[in-house]
Structure 1
Amino acid sequence: MLKNASNKKFAGILAALFLLVGTAHTYGQTNNPGPKFGIKGGLNLSQLYVDQPTVEDESMKAGFNFGVFGKIPINSFLAVQPEVLYSNAGSKVTYGGSDLENVLGIESGEVRFNLNYVQVPVALAVNVGPLNLHAGPYLSYLFSANVKDLKQSDLSSSDIATLDTDDFNKLDYGVMFGVGFDVKAVTIGVRYNYGFREIGNSGVAGQLTENSKNGVGQIYLGFGL
């Protein structure tokens, strides 16, 4: 009698599990979203984290990002999200100490680094209802750089005046991760990009930005179809 009751209980649990699996499978098939493509843009907050002994202070630089994105579903929970973005990076750095002038030939003061990239991130997105968690690698190409000595009234007297795109590494790469919300055609979110490569390649640029890598926080709004 007890054995029969146990068998019936086990059969009931087994049937419930099959029903649950079948329901989940049907949901995944009927609610598997199609590909989405759209435009996005927003605010960048960037910092270089310069590891240089003459650096006295460093502050974030505000910029912007904009571009196009795609969201290609693997199933109802996972999607691949490639993007092509224009993205500002850089920082405002305060240098001090006699070594700066003796070694680099420039006065102590504030220097603003403006670095403009074409960025291609590719994220794996995990969708939980309208929420998505995403992470993946990115590759960026530096197409222009502008460096300004904020203390010098005559930039031609400073070695910083000669710095241009060729003084910085053209390629940057790293990882990014973030969280977003998808509500119908609208997507909003925040993301952080962490670079692996030093930005300066040689000379004054390399010394001013010694061991510095891009760190960029992003807030974005997008519209997709």
Structure 2
Amino acid sequence: MKKNHEFRFVKGLGIALILFTFVSQSFAQSKNPGPRIGIKGGANLSQFFVDQPTAEDESMKLGLHFGLFTKIPVNNFLSFQPEILYTNVGSKVSYGGSNLESALGIREGEVRFNLNYIQLPLAFAVNVGPLNLHAGPYLSYLASANVKNLRESDLSTINTIELDRDDFNPFDYGILAGVGFDVQNVTIGARYNYGLREIGKSGLAGNLTNNSKNSVAQLYIGFGF
């Protein structure tokens, strides 16, 4: 019985050593890029989801983003990747219905929202060979805003309503998650940003974008040095 126990112990120890050797080699072969800085840019597909009874349809807006990133290794598999980006988001919203003018004082039609942010993503990336999975928070500052095709009318005239940066919350924050692929000094990937703060202040902008938060899908390519 003692020999059987000793045999099982030695067998178990051998299996443990094999597993330890395999894991150690996996860590040693992991190629987490060293500290580097680079430029990146790509396309945004953004959309509002408006909780407003006169909003009949929300459609995506095509925008862009570009800026700088740096990748700082924490260990063989984990990296910290802060970035600073200029990003253009928004949505196209169609308003209609018999109560539109009485409720909001505007004409029915499609309104285009354009919001331009300076964004600071703070992502942690798990690197598995050339593949990385990243997630983290972001903070954005609204640099400018404009709204197109927003009009009011009375019996004799049609006037354009002007909404600008002062009508929207100057800060946005949220979470992001994505996947990337690194080949030498080139990185490509996709990311989703979900805002946790309403974009519109009180008043007309708040009513038009009621309960809307930024929702942005991104495709990007970057070059590291």
- Asked whether the two chains share a fold, i.e. TM above 0.5, the reply is yes
Deviation at residue 60 of structure 1 after TM alignment: 0.2
Cross-structure match for 1:212? 212
Cα distance in 2, alignment partners of residues 62 and 151 from structure 1: 23
Give the corresponding residue for 1:10.
9
Q: Give distance in 2, aligned partners of 1:16 and 1:35.
A: 36
Does the CA contact (< 8 Å) of 2:30 and 2:129 recur in 1? no
The CA deviation at 1:25 is 3.6
- In structure 2, the CA distance between the partners of 1:156 and 1:68, relative to structure 1 (3 Å rule), is farther
Distance (whole Å) between structure 1 residues aligned to residue 82 and residue 124 of structure 2: 9
Identity %: 61
TM-score, with structure 1 as normaliser: 0.89
Q: Letter of the aligned partner of 1:8 in structure 2? A: F
Hey, what does 2:74 align to over in structure 1?
Answer: 74
Partner deviation per Cα, 1:68-105 (whole Å, 9 max, x = no partner): 11111111111111111111110000000232212322
Partner residue, 1:166: 166
Partner of 2:138: 138
CA 1:156–1:78: 2 relative to 1, 3 Å: farther
Matched-pair contact (CA < 8 Å) for 1:111–1:150: yes
Deviation at 1:7, TM superposition (A): 1.9
Deviation at 1:158, TM superposition (A): 2.7
Greater share of residues in helix: 1
| 1:24 and 2:26 matched | no
Q: 2: distance between equivalents of 1:209 and 1:87?
A: 19
* Structure 1 gap segments, 5+ residues each: none
Between the two proteins, the alignment pairs up a number of residues equal to 220
Aligned partner letter, 2:96: G
Under a length normalisation based on structure 2, what TM-score does the superposition of the two structures give? 0.89
Asked whether the 8 Å contact 1:32–1:73 carries over to 2, the reply is no
In 2, Cα distance between the equivalents of 1:108 and 1:74?
A: 53
**Superposition pairs for residues 144-155 of structure 1, below 5 Å?**
144-149=144-149
How much does 1:58 deviate?
Answer: 1.0
5+ long unaligned stretches in structure 2: none
